[in-house]
Every structure is written in structure tokens, then in C-alpha cells.
Amino acid sequence: MDNYLNLIPIRNEKVELRKIEGKYYLMIPMESKLDFLARRLHGNYRRLELDEIGAYVWELCDGTRNVEEIGKLLKARFGEKVEPLYERLLTFLIQLQRRNLIRFR
């Protein structure tokens, strides 16, 4: 796990966080030609709902902090609510990476 703590997550610059009716969403552009039908039905973006913790993590993935620093900020803001801290944080970040929403440096 120590190797992961030094990684620096960087947001995909095409994806934007929006708060809509009190909920947080990642707005993911549908750019593939294969998304033609989905765009006709749902508009130009796929929406991925995040809770307050996920939205905060997204904001912190700006390319300036590593995973360990993000974890410390989460702990300071949310306390016990984020435990087990690094297991949950890494699981979330890896899911974002698999969807090409972030990359690691």
C-alpha cells in the first residue's frame, strides 16, 4: 500500500464536478461515435453521482497532492466517517482511474 500513497492523482480535465439540486455529479462528456444513441437520449454528458466525501476527493485530485496528503485532509474534515481511510480512498481512486476519470503520476 505504501507505493500507492506516493501516487499523485490528476483529474481528467474534460470531466467537471457540478452540484445539481443538492447532489454532486461528475459530468463526463460522451465523445465517442458509439455514444450517438446515448447522446440523443441523455444529452452530451454521462452523470456519475458522488457523495460529499467523493466530491471532496475529486476536488483534491488537482495534481498537487499525493494519496497520503489527500487522506490526511479527508481525516481532518470527516474524522471517523472515512475509516478505514486508505483502503476506502484507494478503492475509490482506482475506480476513477478505471473509468479514465483520473490518472496517476
Query: Residue holding cell 441523455?
Result: 42
Three cell numbers at 76?
A: 481532518
Whether the per-residue pLDDT at 1 is higher than 80: the answer is no
97 and 34 in contact (C-beta within 8 Å)?
no
**CA-CA distance, 42 to 98, in Å (whole number)?**
23
Residue 31: which domain range? 1-100
Residue 28 within any structural domain of the chain: yes
Residue 27 within any structural domain of the chain: yes
pLDDT tens-digit readout, 52-69: 999 999 999 999 999 999
* Structural domains of the chain, count: 1
Mean pLDDT, range 90-104, rounded to an integer:
98
Residues 6+ apart with CB under 8 A from 68: 5, 6
Mean pLDDT, range 34-50, rounded to an integer:
87
Residue 34 within any structural domain of the chain: yes
Residue 105 within any structural domain of the chain: no
